[in-house]
Structure 1
Amino acid sequence: MEENGGNIHADSTFCGSPAVVQVIQKVIAELIGTYFLIFAGCCSVIINNAEETKGRITFPGICLVWGFSVTILVYSLAHVSGAHFNPAVTLSFAIYRHFPLRLVPLYFIAQVLGSFLASGTLYLLFEVNEKTYFGTIPSGSYIQSLVFEILTSFLLMFVVCAVSTDNRAIGKLGGIAVGMTIIVNVFIAGPISGASMNPARSLGPALVMWVYNGIWIYVVGPFVGAILGATCYNLIRYTDKPLREIGASSKIFKTSACTSAT
């Protein structure tokens, strides 16, 4: 009895430890954030394409809904979980040690589950058919859509790295910068690939409605683009020091000064 009691006490202590509670909070925040991001963005797509409300939101309106949703959720949840809402962003952060690798699987599960639940909610609320399908399907060729997904994911991750990992950037405006990037990306890639930039965004609707046309594009493209974007920013980043300190200590600048003096 004492051993069993000791085990129970140890388990409860483990579950109640600050570290475990913090992880649970992060995972829940990612699930909630992804849920409302997908719900809001995909809901705008359904309403705009449905016969009764066709064209009321318009394509620019859809772009704004996605961008504003990201901005709102970043400012609401970034201090809790980092506000990734995107497996490609999570993995890219982990690769460059801005995020614990051990939490990657938990974030993946939370993000995909959040998207799945949001998609399921929309499927129950609306009569969804081929015209009102709110997932992502290539409009052009597979290669064209893949390139768009890589490029838009690259830009998104490049901006995310700038505002969240570099203290020389204006951090307080990070949510606005990321939201505006989403708006631009949806404007340019929406008519071609659907502008997913997020494997979870595409997997949720696909799993709910069993539509897997070109689904590999929305898994491969965002991961490749995000990792490349993070890699490029880390290459040009060089250091956390302000530029004036880099110039003051750089051998190149010193050599140039000596040359001009002689």
Structure 2
Amino acid sequence: MNSFCDPMIDLNDIAVTYGAEDQTKSALLSIRLSIESGEWIAIVGSNGCGKSTLAKVIAGLIRPSSGHMICHAESSPAVQLVFQNPETQIVRETVYEDICFGLENFGIPQERIELRAMDALRRVGLDGRKYDRTATLSGGQKQLLNIAGCLALNPSVYVFDESTSMLDPLSRQSVLHVVRELHRQGRTIVWITQLLDELAWCDRVIGMEEGTIVFDGSKQSFFYGDEASWDRSAPNPCDRLGFVPPFTVQTARVLLASGYALRPLPVSPDELSKAVGAL
């Protein structure tokens, strides 16, 4: 896990309201959140809780109704967003043309475009499909192409808004592999999901409900509550938000309730295996 000391993004009393006059609806309410450089935060919550709105605020696609955001990134663009639907961001007919589109829009010199485009395609495993029509790609390959488009621009922060939710398991693992590599390279990741097994790789969990942050802490605290006084019968943030924990966590909870001291508290299958093996 990376160590953090420098803020990358500060959100100060962010509110987003839709509509006009007496027909307004609040999507975000007084959000205060600091994201450190190199951190992987996961944002979870039920549909309509404000996760996607928060993603768009961080990516600069929505202007807050009140409050302000400070981004300390030196790169330009500072933030890039990968949407849920792989079709959303594809605008050109071929793989190579599509990845060049963003580079051209950001004024990258022509002599550097091919190098950056091909490097990004190589990193997601699509360099051999440079001239393929985007319509022939699978859903997972389309999402990898979207990520490659972001990679080519080299932002400091990557925001993924449920980017694996429409993918099959194999494609989902391909996307997660690329994102984990980005994190190892020190990039800041904002990962929005309802697939709680994906929290295994994050550094910190943000739980949202009705436009507000109701939890901000470690993934272990999210799934198990207070580690120092863990009680199977006590509510924890995961249960309170109405989520079913991953099978790994369910198994670990049963073992803990039976008197087995699992340390550290496992979230991934590998962590469970190691914790059990150490008993």
Normalised by the length of structure 1, the TM-score is 0.25
Identify the structure with the greater helix proportion: 1
**Quick one: higher RCO (CA 8 Å, sep 6+), 1 or 2?**
1
Larger Rg: 1
Normalised by the length of structure 2, the TM-score is 0.24
Identify the structure with the greater strand proportion: 2
